[in-house]
Amino acid sequence: MAAQQAKARSSVIPMAIVAILFFVLGFATWLNGSLMPYLKQMLQLTPLQASLVLFSFYIAVTFTALPSAWLIRKVGYKNGMALGMAIMMLAGLLYIPAAQTQTFALFLLAQLVIGTGQTLLQTAVNPYVVKIGPEETAAVRISIMGILNKTAGVVAPMVFTALMANSFIAGPDTALTSVQIDEMAAGLVLPYLGLAAFLGLLALAVKFSPLPELAKESNDSSGSRGQLKAALARPGLVLGVLALFVYVAVEVIAGDTIGLFALSLGVERYTVMTSYTMACMVLGYVLGILLIPRLLSQQAALAVSAVLGLTLTLAIVLGDTSSYAIANTILVPFGGTALPDTLLFIAVLGLANAIVWPAVWPLALSGLGALTSIGSALLIMGIAGGAFGPLFWGLASGTGLGQQGAYVVMLPCYLFILFYAVKGHKLTSWK
């Protein structure tokens, strides 16, 4: 008993550090939901061009996840975290010349670099959630970290909006003068300089912190190839990777395009809209902790999430953008903002999406045994869906569907998640 209490005490500081890092990960990720519509208005971008802001951030996962794992095997988890923060700091500095020159390509490069640093940090920090404390309470720690990550998603747009309060130009169709564009660009310099300074200090703090180093894994390339082949022979895992791919696609669409859509509808503080989606995701996490498995199995929760996602998607696509009935009922009487119903439907997608990630992981890894580590690496690759979901939404927005009708691209995603919940996770053979 005394040994267990000592171990619990010894893990308090490392857990606090890891909690801060998860908050930072969420802050950097969901800041995109504010930055994208802001750049759209400042640089007069099309919806497709604006979607490249997200594409360049999330595509980093596609080609840096495996190199990140290799680097961590070389330098260790603690140094990997510090390096990830340092790369994110450099990205923060890149936003400054991007803003000063108003060069879209430089913004995209900064997004790519911060996505690379975020991938390295995430690859290094996630194992700590499991290894830093007792194994039997790992699920609780995962849920807490998830809530911290999404809470950062609520805070980030609010902080961005507060810092940019004097730089907004009202109206989606406002023809900006060169002076107004310069003011909007100048407003980005100090916030990103501050972000870079904070990330640099945090990198140093992590480097010299009392975080214990996890044991390094062996790097047997021939064994890894054999494991990869064996893992790809498991339908439940492969379909789980695809389920996470489409899930992250709809999660990012709901969280990061809501600001663009709000801008098109004339909502003045469009950069804060991501907070609504993230607040619904936090609520979903809390409900998941309370209901699973007491009242709902993981499979049932996943199916309910998919059905709710399908229903809300249809409500968004077919809804009346001039209706404020929901806001007038549940927000305005309590001092909230009057928002179109369709925007609130997008926000509630956060509730539908919250359970998907924690539900798919155990279903996809079930029965993998020695293949669990490589299965986890493949599942992480599913984050790349965040690059393509908004891109397809942007492409669809340029057609006759418009921005509202473009949300129809989420329907096949939720249908696949429903298939995985009902049948896909049960498949044991491709035959």
* pLDDT given for residue 253 in this prediction: 94
Nearest to 98 by CA among 108, 86, 88: 108
Cα dihedral 28, 34, 38, 39 sign: positive
Residue 387 lies in a domain: yes
10 pLDDT higher than 90:
no
Domain-located, residue 431: no
Q: What is the mean pLDDT of residues 151-156?
A: 88
> What is the pLDDT, as a whole number, of residue 1?
45
- Residue range 121-140: mean pLDDT, rounded: 67
Query: How far is the C-alpha of 340 from the C-alpha of 330, rounded, in Å?
Result: 12
Q: Which long-range contacts (CB under 8 A, 24 or more apart) does 108-112 make?
A: 108/52, 108/53, 108/56, 109/56, 111/32, 111/53, 111/54, 111/56, 111/57, 112/56, 112/57, 112/59, 112/60
104 within some domain: yes
* pLDDT tens digits, 216-259: 555 555 456 777 788 888 899 999 999 999 999 999 999 889 98
Using CA atoms, how far apart are residues 68 and 234, in angstroms rounded to an integer? 25
Residue 407 pLDDT > 90: yes
Both tokens of 86, joined, read: 């340092």
Asked if 229 and 155 sit in the same domain, the reply is: no
Same domain, 245 and 358: yes
171 plus 279 within the same structural domain? no
Is the pLDDT reported for residue 102 higher than 90?
yes
Quick one: pLDDT band at residue 83, thresholds 50, 70, 90? very high
**Residue 216 falls inside a structural domain:** no
CATH number at residue 133: 1.20.1250.20
pLDDT computed for residue 249 by the predictor: 95
For residue 303, pLDDT beyond 60: yes
Domain termination residue (choose one: 210, 244, 278): 210
In whole angstroms, what is the distance from residue 65 CA to residue 96 CA? 27
More reliable by pLDDT, 415 or 73: 415
Among candidate residues 189, 210, 231, the one where a domain is terminated:
210
298 in the same domain as 166: no
Q: Are residues 238 and 199 in the same domain?
A: no
The reply to whether 215 falls in a domain is no
> Please, which pLDDT band fits residue 171 given cuts at 50, 70 and 90?
low
Work out the average pLDDT over 283-302: 84
Both 234 and 339 in one domain: the answer is yes
pLDDT tens string 340-371: 999 999 999 999 998 888 888 888 888 877 77
Residue 357 covered by a domain: yes
Q: Which of 214-223, 312-321, 360-369, 401-410 has the lowest mean pLDDT?
A: 214-223
The predicted-structure confidence for 22-52, as pLDDT tens digits, reads as follows 888 888 888 888 888 889 889 989 888 988 9
Report residue 148's pLDDT band, with 50, 70 and 90 as the boundaries. confident
- Using pLDDT thresholds of 50, 70 and 90, give the confidence band for residue 17: confident
Same domain, 300 and 263: yes
d(CA 406, CA 308): 18
What is the pLDDT averaged over residues 274-283?
90
Under the banding of pLDDT at 50, 70 and 90, the label for residue 6 is very low
Query: Is the domain of 22 the same as that of 59?
Result: yes
What pLDDT is attached to residue 247? 95
HEC readout, the chain: CHHHHHHHHHCHHHHHHHHHHHHHHHHHHHCHHHHHHHHHHHHCCCHHHHHHHHHHHHHHHHHHHHHHHHHHHHHCHHHHHHHHHHHHHHHHHHHHHHHHHCCHHHHHHHHHHHHHHHHHHHHHHHHHHHHCCCHHHHHHHHHHHHHHHHHHHHHHHHHHHHHCCCCCCCCCCCCCCHHHHHHHHHHHHHHHHHHHHHHHHHHHHHHCCCCCCCCCCCCCHHHHHHHHHHHHCCHHHHHHHHHHHHHHHHHHHHHHCHHHHHHHCCCCCHHHHHHHHHHHHHHHHHHHHHHCCCCCCHHHHHHHHHHHHHHHHHHHHHCCCCCCHHHHHHCHHHCCCCCCHHHHHHHHHHHHHHCHHHHHHHHHHCCCHHHHHHHHHHHHHHHHHHHHHHHHHHHHHCCCCHHHHHHHHHHHHHHHHHHHHHCHHHCCCCC
Shared domain check, 296 and 177? no
Q: Identify the pLDDT of residue 2.
A: 46
Tell whether 204 and 243 lie within a shared domain: no
Residue-averaged pLDDT of the chain: 84
Cα 18 to Cα 22, 128, 143, 361: the distances in Å are: 6, 7, 13, 21
Q: How many domains does the chain have?
A: 2
Q: What percent of the chain has pLDDT over 70?
A: 88
pLDDT confidence band for 140 (50 / 70 / 90): low
Burial class of residue 29, CB neighbours in 10 A (0-12, 13-18, 19+):
buried
Assess whether 29 and 168 both reside in one domain.
yes
Within 13 Å and on the Cβ side, how many CA atoms surround 414? 25
Choose the most confident range, by mean pLDDT, from 113-127, 224-238, 240-254, 284-298: 240-254
80 and 191, same domain (yes or no) = yes
CA 272 vs CA 256, 343, 408: distances in Å: 10, 12, 23
Above 60 in pLDDT, residue 9?
Answer: no
Q: Residue 102's domain spans which residues?
A: 1-210
In this model, does residue 177 exceed pLDDT 50? yes
Domain end call among 210, 242, 261: 210
48 falls within a domain: yes
Does some domain include residue 218?
A: no
